[in-house]
Amino acid sequence: MYEYYAKWIREGKLKVNSDWNKDLKIKFTVQDPCQIVRKSFGDPIADDLRYVVKSVVGEENFVDMTPNKSNNYCCGGGGGFLQSGFKEERLAYGKIKDMQIKATGADYCIAGCHNCHAQIHELSEHYGGHYPVVHLWTLICLSMGVLGENERTYLGEDLADIYPPNVYLNED
């Protein structure tokens, strides 16, 4: 999906921008999903993912994890772990991911994968980091001013009431 988000932004179809975050300066990091990056498309799609994120939150507001891209650590949400019943082990598995995220100092973790989203969200609560974990589609819509009231479940308090102007209105 990320390659298409990137393509549509490059082609000017998705009019995303990061003006909303110029003064807020909210910092974001991103989880590279193993299935999409290391196991399928490699670093090029990780670069597309970063292009989308930076276009949406501002280059200066993006902080990468270490290590990252194809060398990134799995969060522990994949392979059926979420449904396997081994909760204690799953949270122990995710400790390294939680530490990686905290080390970035970012306010938010973007997880553009369902399993990653569920697992990292739980890690954030369990290990007390309480950083919000958001889908990429949420931020893309927020940046274009089209994110609805009911579509803000995963945003933190700092963004819950941020409504940038709809960039598709009064285009002419």
Partner 1 sequence: MTDEAIKISGKKGSYFIDMVKTLLPEGGNLNLCLTCGACSSGCPATGLAGMDPRKFLRMAALGMDDEIKASKWPWMCTMCQRCIYVCPMKIDIPQLVFNARTLTPREDRPKGIRDSCDMALKVDTCSAMGCSVEDFEFVVGDVLEEIREADPFWEERDLQAPIDKEGAEFFVNQNSREPMTEPEEMAPLWKILNLAGVNWTYGSKAWTGENYCLFMADNESWKKIVTMQTEQTEKLRCKTYLNTE
Residue 126 burial (10 A CB sphere; 0-12, 13-18, 19+)? middle
Q: Is 5 in the site for partner 1 (CB under 8 A)?
A: yes
The least CB distance from residue 169 to partner 1, in Å, is: 7
Q: Kindly indicate which of the ranges 19-27, 88-96, 101-109, 124-132 contains the residues binding partner 1, using the contact rule CB under 8 A.
A: 88-96
The least CB distance from residue 119 to partner 1, in Å, is: 10
Q: Is 135 in the site for partner 1 (CB under 8 A)?
A: yes
Q: Is 84 helix (H, G, I), strand (E, B) or coil?
A: coil
Q: Which of 25, 54, 20, 58 is nearest to 146 (CA)?
A: 20
Interface map 15-34 toward partner 1 (x if CB under 8 A): x------------------x
Q: Is 170 in the site for partner 1 (CB under 8 A)?
A: no
Q: Which two tokens stand for residue 170?
A: 């009064």
Q: Which of 58, 16, 8, 48 is nearest to 143 (CA)?
A: 16
At 30, phi and psi to the nearest 5? -135, 140
- Torsion angle, alpha carbons of 159, 107, 52, 31, to 10: -130
Q: Is 138 in the site for partner 1 (CB under 8 A)?
A: yes
Q: Is 123 in the site for partner 1 (CB under 8 A)?
A: no
Separation of alpha carbons 71 and 124, rounded Å: 22
The least CB distance from residue 65 to partner 1, in Å, is: 13
Residues in the site for partner 1, rule: CB under 8 A? Answer: 1, 4-5, 8, 13-15, 34, 38-39, 70-74, 76-81, 83-86, 89-90, 92-97, 112-114, 135-138, 140-141, 144, 146-148, 150-151, 153, 166, 168-169
